[in-house]
Structure 1
Amino acid sequence: MSESKQKVSVFAPASIGNVSVGFDVLGLAVKPIDGTLLGDVVSVAASESNSLIVQGEFAKKLPGEPTDNIVWHCLQLFNQALVEMNQAIDTVTLTLEKKMPVGSGLGSSACSVVAALEALNCYYQTNHQFGFDKEKMLFMMGQMEAKISGSLHYDNVAPCYFGGMQLMVPDSNIITRTLPSFDDCYFVMAYPGIEVSTKAARDVLPERYSRSDVITFGQNLATFVDACHRHDKQQAFSVVTDIVAQPYRKHLLPGFENACDYLSSQGCLAVGISGSGPTLFCVTDDKEKAQSFALWLEEHYLQTLSSGICEGFVHICQADIQGACQI
């Protein structure tokens, strides 16, 4: 019986959470220009019993027990939603190909969550002509992300799922709006090879902010959104400044301040921390500059571990407007 049902695989891309100017409310999906799959792939196939296979370059960083893996929890949540809709449940094997480092600031957990839930939805659409709508899917993705980080925020799962630049809105039915993105810009992403947990990065933030910081944050975000709609690149990136998190997190990232100073002096449109770090991103609309920045970051930002191995990488990316997709 299981052989007659079609296997489904979904890729979910990396993302820049916050994009500096929009703490917890802004995110951008990105893809390397060389065609590298920077993200996670989850496959779903019918089987005699539920199981999870974990493989890929960064699989060793995940819990050893399948039942401790977020993809397994995605299956449980999805099946619960099927029960609530009086839908029959298949037993399946999920295969996670972990292409994203854990605790990288690139939306690693979001990639697994989005790929898993979308793969399950596509599997049921293909084999049972039943699927949940995008609003329900995004809501479930947010539930899973909150389980990992301890707070509900969609700035990684929304761009990972929908693609492009996503702005979170205070409407539980809509959740996110797509902003115009600057498709001629290059986002150089440098993951140094060390891990920073989202929870730890959130714990260093202050409980309260000054009135002036709140005003500046609101003004910068409003200006950025306006500039995106007017396609005013210079104005948009002139306000990509993080006053909420970066001042308190930069000490967690060796070499970050030095890299910021250098890249800014070389004419970057913006430099910041991707999500909660330690990945650094810088923006330019000049491909040659992007290549030069990538080489500099490889030499000066990547970290060699005590084992003598460097697990970091640098990718030149552009906005991924597609988001999660079947492959």
Structure 2
Amino acid sequence: MTSVAYAPASIGNVSVGFDLLGAALRPVDGSLLGDRVFVSATRGPLTLDCSGPCAGILPADPSQNLVYRAAEYFLHRLRKPLEGLHLHLEKNLPICSGLGSSASSIVAAFTALNHFFKSPFESSELLQMMAELEGQISGSVHYDNVAPAFLGGMQLIQSEAQGLSCALPIFENWRWVVCYPGYKIATEQARGLLPNQYPRHVCIDFGRKLATFVQSCYTQNASLAASVLNDELAEPYRSPLIPGFANACSALSEQGALAVGISGSGPTLFALADCSEVAETVNLWFENHFIESEQGFSHICQLDSSGADAREELDVTV
């Protein structure tokens, strides 16, 4: 018996909510935009192998792989030895892409492991473990990718006393067009560009826009929500890392996009459309003008309301 879990890609920050807002993605064409992890019983020590279009860029040493490290952490919490399991990672998301690649692998791993062991941990415990492990990669614990990848939808990060994360109402007609140009930006590099302090007016404006966005979600005021989807905390410092960013913002606005922003730390951009026709136009522009290598891609997405999904498979070929 094999447990398999899928965790979707995600947009961190969503412009207006630096480290506090994240959204899970589901391509409208039905394709997978996320990683899968398979867990099965075996004899001997803990083992891991990988497949998928992005497996070639993973560490050669399995012990350095996030999925292996997730299993180490999980088994340690269960007080079990590092043996008797075989893990397989189907790596579909490019690393350092701004699409929550590490979060997708981590969430899929913990979800598959928890399913395999008959759910020893509650969702809140799993979410904490996921964030702690990802924090070891990015340099700080933050939930804006792991929460949507695990729970689905658009998640507002709260304090531990409030339950860590809260799902916001979404706009069903919105389409999120995401384009990965085909090169990497390390999260640590992008975070290192940010100042240690911000002027008072920037902090006030950040709080005002995030509050307005959250209220607009609950009142379903789509035009007001879209109007505040801009980033004054990270984007001014990170955009120079993304060639053609200013041109993309201008051109996509002319194509009808309601907002354009950096997904997570970049280099992926997202553009928001309020109908399928505009989304198709935006997607075509991305394909023709923003992708820089054959590794790049663009997808029209909705928000994935399901998040991570786990199940059992009797016979798995990977």
Q: Please, what TM-score do these two structures have when normalized by structure 2?
A: 0.95
Match of 2:96 among 97, 100, 103: 103
AA aligned opposite 2:253: S
Is 1:75 matched up with 2:59? no
2:116 matched residue in structure 1: 123
Tell me the CA shift for residue 326 of structure 1. Answer: 2.0
Contact 2:47/2:85 (8 A) holds in 1: yes
User: What is the CA RMSD across the aligned residues, in angstroms?
Assistant: 1.2
Tell me the CA shift for residue 23 of structure 1. Answer: 0.1
1:243 matched residue in structure 2: 232
Match of 2:183 among 184, 194, 211: 194
SS of residue paired to 2:25: strand
Contact 1:190/1:281 (8 A) holds in 2: yes
Is 1:21 matched up with 2:10? no
Tell me the CA shift for residue 181 of structure 1. Answer: 1.1
Stretch moving more, 33-42 or 169-178: 169-178
SS of residue paired to 1:154: coil
Q: Deviations over 1:55-84 (max 9, x none)?
A: 11000111001001111110110001111x
Is 1:213 matched up with 2:202? yes
Is 1:9 matched up with 2:4? yes
Q: How does 1:1-327 map to 2 (within 5 A)?
A: 6-49=1-44, 50-83=46-79, 91-125=84-118, 130-172=119-161, 174-304=163-293, 310-326=294-310
Contact 2:106/2:134 (8 A) holds in 1: yes
Q: Deviations over 1:108-160 (max 9, x none)?
A: 000000000000000111xxxx5210011001001111011010100000000
User: For residues 227 and 206 of structure 1, what CA distance do their matches in structure 2 show?
Assistant: 29
AA aligned opposite 1:101: P
AA aligned opposite 2:154: M
User: For residues 88 and 54 of structure 1, what CA distance do their matches in structure 2 show?
Assistant: 22
User: For residues 89 and 296 of structure 1, what CA distance do their matches in structure 2 show?
Assistant: 49
SS of residue paired to 1:161: helix
SS of residue paired to 2:74: helix
Q: Deviations over 1:220-243 (max 9, x none)?
A: 000000000001111111100100
Pick closer, same or farther for the CA change 1:173–1:66 going to 2, 3 Å: farther
Q: Please, what TM-score do these two structures have when normalized by structure 1?
A: 0.93
AA aligned opposite 2:26: K
Give the fraction of aligned pairs with identical amino acids, expressed as a percent: 47
Q: Deviations over 1:261-320 (max 9, x none)?
A: 11112221111000000000000111011111111111110113xxxxx21000000000
Contact 1:13/1:40 (8 A) holds in 2: yes
SS of residue paired to 2:43: coil
| Unmatched 5+ stretches in structure 1 | 1-5, 305-309
Tell me the CA shift for residue 172 of structure 1. Answer: 4.9
| Unmatched 5+ stretches in structure 2 | 312-318
Tell me the CA shift for residue 171 of structure 1. Answer: 2.6
- Structure 1 stretches of 4+ with a deviation exceeding 2 A read 87-90, 170-173
